[in-house]
């Protein structure tokens, strides 16, 4: 009896404390809302939003609902995060490997990069790129083209747009290629385990991924053309580019600073991972006659990845969460569109802030579930 | 044999190749050097593209010529070993050398040569370089925000005293070393709190500050005569009790009203700002987030399921949301949750929000340390008859915290780097002040200088912190 009481009392106290705190907050919130004449509810989501967003991936204007505004913000957040993650991973892996280079200069150069960008607040870097560096770009009429098709101006980066005909067929051909590659890989593994024969999966995959889409162009009737941005004069001193896709400077500043910043952390993860593989592993692999490439592919990388992936996942999560700093430079992400403009207009603080937080929570948890699944797949199978 | 050796140096024809190679390398170096420092294109007579890549090609051939397994010449061997191991590395090394040479003149000219330092108006900034006059004129604002100029000595004095009090640990003799933990965990934060809240904030509450100081000094003096086994409880209770006695029973408030004692002007927290605010916020969040984080780390590993679930929920919630939304919450949502006419200052709200947010990260770091300890430590402590708290305070936590020094340092670094986000609640620390100064109509167009200035300051702070944590890690490293 005594033992049980000892177990129950601390838990009971904690739970009562938590319940009391929450109860206190809810009680106050109810009274406050009653006094101010605000009613609680998510009905406002279907009302007309009547504000505009300057950059959106889906069709949107003031006549759409608040829910659609939320979607616009969410998609913009995801866009920045995905681009940032891709660039940061590539840069981080390169820098991480460079830090292990025996070449003194490359090594120090990578170390300098990491120490430099890691120790400056991200917000400051975003401000720097947006307010100082990108403002020094030329006006549209003075911009020089890059390869004749890209235009980097103070109003953003203009890139050619793809114009597809029968895009669905092309898409299906890529899906088909991907499925075929997976089937062949499974088959090849089976063949190797049963008969010891090796099938050159890599070359077959490369062939498939090129040939199938190519076939879709040749016989499927898929056409691809580019729409190059063209300079157009609006008034005597005002020029814009028409056609193509325009990426606003906010997006560029944000992705640039996010990826430069996060890449430093990923580089450290990669370095730690590769250093974490014992020297004996490399020597053992070399002594049983594997080529240097095979040593890297079959022995070092699988083991290094196990060390690299968990901290790198954290960095991806951080990048996604840090993308909310977009609000500081008026890039219309979730925080700015929803927790900023929509909140100002409706005054529904509790609902909107809770939806925003819940969205980020969902994003974070889904990325970490995905990465945990991958991590489990490559983890050591202990018997 | 001789044909192959024609392009490959060995020890026999080492000198020939050495002269040839180093002269080629030197020529390429000179070309880039003149090009960048004196704007002189030595190879201008060649076609455009060739003139561009010539130094690279020459340098590459030069490096190829001097690459030899072992020459016996010390400098050459070092060079070969470090930057010239193979063709790929040679090209990369050359590229990096050229990039450095190319980037020195513009950076130097922007920072120093063409920059303007003198004067105190925008008119002196006519050159192409940086306008450090802008920083000079705005320096007080960047450091102290909107804090009145005449009162800024209070901030300086507080920080200097806190630094001095904080450095006590370095000068303490062995006899006093055992009290240091108590000092840093309980007394020092208390004094710091009194300093910052009452001295910088000022107003009538300034007297609380003087009571606090008197109470602290008195209790330390009496503390020497207290027997060792009661010392912990003594320092836990007596300073606070003394403070209350002083405040409510001895120093009557009438003295103030009679004008016998003149207080300091009150400066509201909205006027605080600049780098000093960065320090204040980092300092308080650092103090608060550590015990909260430790509590939740222990909670997450607790044997009671309900406590464990609550801790997991807390940690995962704060780790899953971005800080900016947390600050949004503290700014617009939190006041709704408080009773009416109950007001919390926005600086305090921001500090609470950041502390809770960072506490979740600290909790995860400490949990890592707790998990890394072998079970034997727990079992040994239990077999000695220690209870839960005794076991954790004397056996588990000292070892676990030692293990997680780098992780804790990283969290604190993240905290310092996160402070600029308080612009969300309307407080302007150094980055916020920069944005304000940038929009001043008299000083338009100096955004770059401001950001570079702030970047240098933050870089120095963060780099020093990371180096310090590295030293700490080395110092406490024990083989287990």
Instruction: For chain A, positions 14-43, list CB contacts with chain B under 8 A.
Output: 14-15, 18, 25-26, 28-29, 31-33, 35
Pairwise CB contact (< 8 Å): A127 & B417: no
Chain A, nearest residue to B303 by Cα: A7
Separation between Cα atoms, residue A294 and residue A198, nearest integer Å: 14
Could you read off the pLDDT of B398-419 as tens digits, one per residue?
888 888 888 888 899 999 999 9
The helix (H) or strand (E) run that includes residue A246 is strand A245-247
Q: Tell me if A57 is assigned to some domain.
A: no
Looking at CA atoms only, how far is residue B310 from chain A in angstroms? 8
Angle at B107 between CA B102 and CA B112, to 5 degrees: 135
Q: For residue B49, what pLDDT band results from cuts at 50, 70 and 90? A: confident
Are the beta carbons of B458 and A127 separated by less than 8 Å?
no
Are residues B120 and B109 part of one domain? no
- Decide if A326 contacts A254 (C-beta within 8 A): yes
> Do the chains contact at B93 and A105, CB–CB below 8 Å?
yes
Cross-chain Cβ contact B82/A102 below 8 Å:
yes
How many distinct helices (H) and strands (E) make up chain B? 24, 2
Q: What is the pLDDT of residues B311-335, one digit of tens each?
A: 988 988 998 899 998 998 888 888 8
Residue A106 lies in a domain: yes
Measure in Å the smallest separation between the Cα of B452 and chain A Cα atoms: 8
Residue B383: predicted pLDDT: 92
Instruction: Please choose, from the candidates B420, B322, B330, B316, the residue with its C-alpha nearest in 3D space to the C-alpha of residue A323.
Output: B322
Report yes or no: B66 and B79 within 8 Å, Cβ to Cβ.
yes
Co-location of B130 and B253 in the same domain: no
Tokens linked to A287 = 């002594």
Q: How many domains does chain B have?
A: 3
Helix/strand/coil for A291: coil
SS (H, E, C) A136-154: HCCCHHHCCEECCCEEEEC
Residues B320, B452: one domain?
yes
Structurally, chain A folds into a number of domains equal to: 2
Instruction: Give the pLDDT confidence of A49-101 residue by residue, as tens digits.
Output: 778 887 777 888 778 888 888 898 999 999 999 999 999 999 999 999 888 88
Sequence-distant (≥ 6) Cβ neighbours of residue A35 within 8 angstroms: B340
Could you say which of B266, B284, B309 is where a domain stops?
Answer: B266
Nearest to B68 by CA among B7, B136, B155: B7
Give the integer Cα–Cα distance in Å for B400 and B365.
10
Report for B33-42, B56-65, B274-283: range of highest mean pLDDT: B274-283
Residues B217-270 have pLDDT tens digits of 777 777 777 776 777 777 777 777 877 777 776 655 555 554 444 556 777 777
Structural element, H or E, at residue B438:
helix B430-438
Which residues from A are below 8 Å from B328, CB to CB?
335, 339, 353, 356
φ and ψ at B359, to 5 degrees?
A: -60, -35
Note the pLDDT tens digit of each residue in B106-148. Answer: 888 888 888 888 777 777 777 777 888 888 888 888 888 888 8
Asked if residue A90 belongs to a domain, the reply is: yes
**Any domain includes A155:** no
What DSSP state is assigned to residue A138?
P
Q: Is the pLDDT of residue B460 over 90?
A: yes
- Are A121 and B419 an interchain contact pair (Cβ–Cβ within 8 Å)? yes
**pTM, to two decimals:** 0.84
Task: Please tell me whether residue B10 adopts helix, strand or coil conformation.
Answer: coil
Q: Would the pLDDT of A380 be above 80? A: no
Whose structure tokens read 């103030």? B256
State ipTM: 0.82
CA distances from A104 to B73, B92, B98, B109 (A): 19, 11, 15, 28
Contacts of B174 (CB under 8 A, 6+ apart): none
**Residue A225: helix, strand or coil by DSSP?**
strand
Pair B211, B132 in one domain = no
Helical H segments across B183-304, by residue range: 188-194, 206-223, 231-245, 254-257, 274-300
* Domain around B325: 116-147+269-480
Name which of A121, A122, A353 is nearest B332 (Cβ-Cβ): A353
Q: Which residues pair with A48 in a beta bridge?
A: A65
CA-only gyration radius of chain A, Å: 27
Q: Which domain holds residue A90?
A: 66-138+247-378
Q: Do B420 and A33 touch (CB under 8 A)?
A: no
Averaged confidence pLDDT in chain A? 84
Interchain CB distance below 8 Å, A106 and B89: yes
CB atoms < 10 A from the CB of A133, how many? 19
Tokens for B58, please give them: 């020459």
> Which string of DSSP letters, residue by residue, matches B411-428?
HHHHHHHHGGGGGGGT-E
Kindly report the backbone phi and psi dihedral angles of residue B275, in degrees, each rounded to the nearest multiple of 5, phi listed first.
-65, -30
Whether residue B425 sits in one domain with residue B357: yes
Are the Cβ atoms of A28 and B328 closer than 8 angstroms?
Answer: no
CA distance B87 to chain A (A): 12
Phi and psi of A223, rounded to 5°? -125, 140
Q: Is residue B91 part of a domain?
A: yes
Residue B107: exposure state from Cβ atoms within 10 A (0-12, 13-18, ≥19): exposed
C-alpha span between B374 and B391 (Å, rounded): 14
Nearest CA to A47 out of A36, A63, A58, A59 is that of: A63
Domain membership flag for residue A323: yes
Question: Cβ contacts (< 8 Å) between B463 and chain A: which residues?
Answer: 115, 119
Q: How far apart are the first and last CA of chain A?
A: 41
| Closest partner CB to B458 (pick from A121, A339, A364) | A121
User: Looking at the structure, do residues B332 and B376 belong to the same domain, yes or no?
Assistant: yes
Claim to verify: residue B369 and residue B387 sit in the same structural domain: yes
What is the spatial distance between Cα B421 and Cα B285, in angstroms, rounded to a whole number? 14
A103:B93 CB<8 A: yes
Query: What percent of chain B lies above the pLDDT cut of 70?
Result: 90
Quick check: B53 pLDDT over 60? yes
A208 to chain B, any CB pair closer than 8 A? The answer is no
Same domain, residue pair B249 and B314: no
| A168 interfaces chain B, CB cutoff of 8 Å | no
């Amino acid at each position: 009896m005594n033992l049980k009481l000892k177990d129950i009392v601390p838990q009971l106290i904690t739970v009562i404390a938590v319940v009391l705190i929450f109860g206190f907050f809810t009680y106050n919130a109810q009274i406050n809302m009653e006094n101010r004449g605000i009613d609680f509810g998510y009905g406002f989501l279907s009302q007309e939003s009547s504000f505009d967003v300057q950059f959106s991936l889906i069709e949107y204007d003031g006549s759409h609902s608040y829910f659609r505004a939320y979607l616009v913000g969410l998609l913009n957040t995801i866009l920045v995060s995905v681009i940032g993650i891709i660039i940061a991973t590539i840069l981080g892996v390169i820098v991480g490997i460079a830090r292990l280079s025996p070449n003194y200069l490359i090594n120090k150069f990578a170390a300098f990069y990491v120490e430099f960008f890691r120790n400056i607040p991200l917000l400051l870097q975003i401000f720097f790129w947006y307010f100082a560096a990108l403002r020094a770009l030329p006006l549209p009429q003075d911009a020089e083209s890059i390869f004749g098709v890209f235009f980097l101006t103070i109003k953003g980066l203009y890139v050619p747009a793809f114009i597809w005909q029968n895009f669905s067929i092309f898409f299906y051909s890529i899906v088909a290629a991907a499925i075929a590659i997976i089937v062949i890989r499974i088959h090849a593994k089976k063949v190797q385990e049963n008969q010891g024969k090796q099938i050159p999966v890599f070359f077959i995959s490369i062939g498939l991924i090129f040939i199938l889409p190519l076939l879709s162009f040749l016989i499927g009737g898929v056409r691809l053309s580019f729409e190059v941005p063209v300079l157009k004069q609006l008034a005597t001193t005002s020029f814009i580019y028409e056609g193509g896709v325009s990426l606003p400077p906010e997006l560029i500043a944000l992705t640039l600073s996010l990826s430069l910043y996060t890449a430093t952390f990923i580089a450290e993860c990669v370095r730690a991972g590769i250093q974490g593989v014992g020297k004996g592993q490399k020597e053992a692999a070399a002594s049983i006659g594997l080529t240097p490439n095979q040593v890297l592919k079959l022995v070092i990388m699988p083991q290094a990845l196990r060390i690299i992936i968990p901290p790198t996942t954290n960095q991806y999560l951080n990048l996604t969460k840090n993308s909310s700093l977009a609000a500081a430079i008026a890039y219309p992400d979730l925080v700015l569109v929803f927790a900023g403009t929509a909140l100002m207009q409706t005054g529904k603080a509790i609902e909107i802030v809770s939806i925003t937080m819940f969205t980020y929570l969902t994003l974070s948890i889904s990325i970490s579930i995905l990465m945990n699944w991958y991590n489990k797949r490559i983890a050591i199978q202990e018997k | 044999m001789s044909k192959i050796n024609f392009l490959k140096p060995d020890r026999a024809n080492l000198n020939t190749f050495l002269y040839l190679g180093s002269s080629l390398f030197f020529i390429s170096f000179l070309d880039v050097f003149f090009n960048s420092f004196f704007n002189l294109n030595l190879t201008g007579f060649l076609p455009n593209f060739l003139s561009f890549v010539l130094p690279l090609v020459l340098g590459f051939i030069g490096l190829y010529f001097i690459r030899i397994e072992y020459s016996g010449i010390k400098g050459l061997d070092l060079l070969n070993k470090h930057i010239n191991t193979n063709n790929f590395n040679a090209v990369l090394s050359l590229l990096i050398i050229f990039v450095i040479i190319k980037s020195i003149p513009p950076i130097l000219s922007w920072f120093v040569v063409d920059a303007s330092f003198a004067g105190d108006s925008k008119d002196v900034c006519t050159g192409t370089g940086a306008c450090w006059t802008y920083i000079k004129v705005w320096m007080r604002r960047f450091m102290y925000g909107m804090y009145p100029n005449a009162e800024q000595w209070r901030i300086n004095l507080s920080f200097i005293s806190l630094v001095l009090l904080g450095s006590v640990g370095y000068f303490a003799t062995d006899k006093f070393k055992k009290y240091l933990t108590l000092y840093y965990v309980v007394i020092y934060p208390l004094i710091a709190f009194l300093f910052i809240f009452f001295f910088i904030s000022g107003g009538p509450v300034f007297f609380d500050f003087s009571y606090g100081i008197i109470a602290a000094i008195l209790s330390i003096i009496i503390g020497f005569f207290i027997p060792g086994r009661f010392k912990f409880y003594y320092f836990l209770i007596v300073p606070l009790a003394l403070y209350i006695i002083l405040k409510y029973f001895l120093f009557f408030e009438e003295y103030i009203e009679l004008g016998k004692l003149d207080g300091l002007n009150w400066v509201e927290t909205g006027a605080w700002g600049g780098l000093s605010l960065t320090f204040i916020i980092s300092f308080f969040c650092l103090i608060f987030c550590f015990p909260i984080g430790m509590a939740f780390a222990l909670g997450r590993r607790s044997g009671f399921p309900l406590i464990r679930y609550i801790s997991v929920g807390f940690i995962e919630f704060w780790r899953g949301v971005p800080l900016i939304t947390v600050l949004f919450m503290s700014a617009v949502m939190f006041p709704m949750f408080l009773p009416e006419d109950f007001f919390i200052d926005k600086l305090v709200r921001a500090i609470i929000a950041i502390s809770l947010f960072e506490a979740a990260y600290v909790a995860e770091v400490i949990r890592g340390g707790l998990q890394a300890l072998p079970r034997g430590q727990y079992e040994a402590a239990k077999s000695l008859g220690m209870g839960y708290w005794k076991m954790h305070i004397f056996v588990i936590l000292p070892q676990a915290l030692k293990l997680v020094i780098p992780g804790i340092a990283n969290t604190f670094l993240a905290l310092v780097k996160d402070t600029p986000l308080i612009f969300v609640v309307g407080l302007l620390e150094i980055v916020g002040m920069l944005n304000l100064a940038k929009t001043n109509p008299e000083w338009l167009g100096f955004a770059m200088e401001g950001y570079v200035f702030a970047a240098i300051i933050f870089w120095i702070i963060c780099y020093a912190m990371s180096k310090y944590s590295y030293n700490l890690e080395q110092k406490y490293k024990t083989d287990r």
